[in-house]
Amino acid sequence: MVSELILRGAVPSENEWDFAILLSCTVTSEADRKSRQQVRRYRRENPQGMILAAGCWVQELEEAEATRLGIDAAVGNRLKSLIPETLEKLFEAGSRPAKPVFLRMPSPPSCGWDPLALEKPAMHTRAFIKVQDGCDHFCSYCIVPFVRGVPVSREPSDILAEVGRVARSGCSEVVLTGVHLGLFGASGPWTLAKLVEEIARVPGMQRIRFGSLEPFALDDELIRTLARTAAFCPHLHLPLQSGDDKVLAAMRRGYSSADFARIVGRIRELWPEKLHLSTDLLVGFPGETDAAFQRTLALVRELGFGHLHVFPYSPRPGTLAASMEGHLPEAVAKARCEEGIAVGDELLRKFAAPFLGTTVPVLVEKARDGELKGLTPHFLPVRWKGNGALGRIENLRVRLFEKGEFRA
């Protein structure tokens, strides 16, 4: 969105603004609350500014609430490519509209692709390239299938054209993303494996990564392709959520702990290089006993994960899990979350230790106050003093690992 708006003459600014876009989330009730809070903050900051809210929260937002909050335009999912022209029309009118303009994905949900295109990464040095949208897996705790629409894959020629454009703009790393990335190509001749091979052929593209990938999407063909593609970074984020079979079944994840362990075993077998596997844990799910939680921690240790994202469960109205029995007190979920984070810190330190004293290629991502920050191919952050150019890959000797990052 930012890339397209810049092409039309917009100038990003943190302080003074004529319009603000809120890209909203609705994955928890807390996310909804934060969206409302952010809109109110924008309205206080600039009573005459144009406020456009987009994304998942907007999909279910009532018009009366949008009016009350002072939203001028609300654009739901699969329609974000209409944001630039929606804003242009609002500005042509000269003042804020009497009531909010609403553009929303129809019901039943659209199966079309929302054609937003990236010319040059505007807010990162890496390019996040969306190749898939929508999900029909219906995990019991998740609202996403209700607000993101049915699964759809982006046209491979369109993806490759975009990768070519960002590579020519000087960007050397792409991250392929999707709501359920593993469903890419599900109804056509293309597979994720083929897509990665083609992207690796694009001149100038040195690093390829995936966003989160549901574990059941990994078959031998994909693992072998990733392992032999030099540009594919040795890191996969595979959300486990729980290591307890009863909890996994209640979550409707579609695999058991043994299935997950088998997939990880296959990855380690077919990918001889040292690989960083990170994961998500959702703790404090209805019915999760202490023993079940300990089984989850034992499994993440056994499977040799590095980074853990640990989230406390909170009921999301509209999902099956919200009406399940056995909800746990918030304090229990919070305590388990803290324990999970501590285990994650320990596992990440253990994974990072063998790199200490070695030289690693780091993509320079951020510069602030004479310090630079970037990522190694294994998705480990590095911080060092210097003034290098953003987007460059520098070879650095890492000497210390503290607070989840290397010092070079």
Residues that bind ligand SF4 (CB under 6 A): 135, 137-139, 142, 144-145, 179-180, 214
Nearer to ligand SF4, 183 or 398 (CB): 183
151 closest CA partner among 139, 135, 131, 130: 135
Q: Please, which residue, 179 or 348, has the CB nearer to ligand SF4?
A: 179
Q: How far is the CB of 115 from ligand SF4 (least distance, A)?
A: 22
Distance of closest approach, residue 180 Cβ to ligand SF4, in angstroms: 5
Residue 196 host element (H or E): helix 192-200
Burial class (CB in 10 A: 0-12, 13-18, 19+), 141: buried
Whole-number minimum distance, CB 309 to ligand SF4, in Å?
13
Neighbour-count burial of 95, counting CB atoms closer than 10 A to its CB (0-12 exposed, 13-18 middle, 19+ buried): exposed
Minimum CB distance to ligand SF4, residue 179 (Å):
5
Nearest Cα to Cα of residue 110 among 81, 139, 84, 85: 81
For residues 144 and 240, which CB has a smaller minimum distance to ligand SF4 in the complex?
Answer: 144
Backbone angles phi, psi at 159, to 5 degrees: -65, -45
Other beta carbons less than 10 A from residue 8's beta carbon: 10
End-to-end CA distance of the chain: 34
| CB closer to ligand SF4 out of 145 and 374 | 145
Q: List CB contacts of 274: < 8 A, sequence separation 6 or more.
A: 234, 354, 378
| CA 361/CA 390 separation, integer angstroms | 14
Least distance CB 82 / ligand SF4 (angstroms): 24
- Cβ-in-10-Å burial (0-12, 13-18, 19+) of 59 comes to buried
Q: Which two tokens stand for residue 181?
A: 């990335």
Q: How far is the CB of 281 from ligand SF4 (least distance, A)?
A: 13
Count CA atoms within 13 Å of residue 30 on its CB side.
5
> Is the CB of 91 or the CB of 138 nearer to ligand SF4?
138
The residue written with tokens 């034992």 in the block is 298
Residue 381 Cβ, how far from ligand SF4 at the closest point, in Å? 25
* CB of 182 or CB of 340, closer to ligand SF4: 182
Residue closer to ligand SF4 (CB basis): 4 or 214 = 214
**CA 177 to the chain's CA centroid:** 7
| Nearest distance, CB of residue 27 and ligand SF4, angstroms | 8
Helices (H) and strands (E) in the chain, counts: 13, 17
Shortest separation between residue 251's beta carbon and ligand SF4, angstroms: 8
**Smallest gap, in angstroms, from Cβ of residue 331 to ligand SF4?**
25
Beta carbon nearer to ligand SF4, 234 or 239:
239
Between 110 and 140, CB nearer to ligand SF4: 140
For ligand SF4, the closer of residues 50 and 238 by Cβ is 238
Give the whole-angstrom CA distance, residue 9 versus residue 158. Answer: 24
Q: Where are the alpha helices (DSSP H) in 220-370?
A: 220-228, 245-251, 257-270, 290-302, 330-352
In 3D, which of 405, 395, 294 has the Cα closest to residue 343? Answer: 294
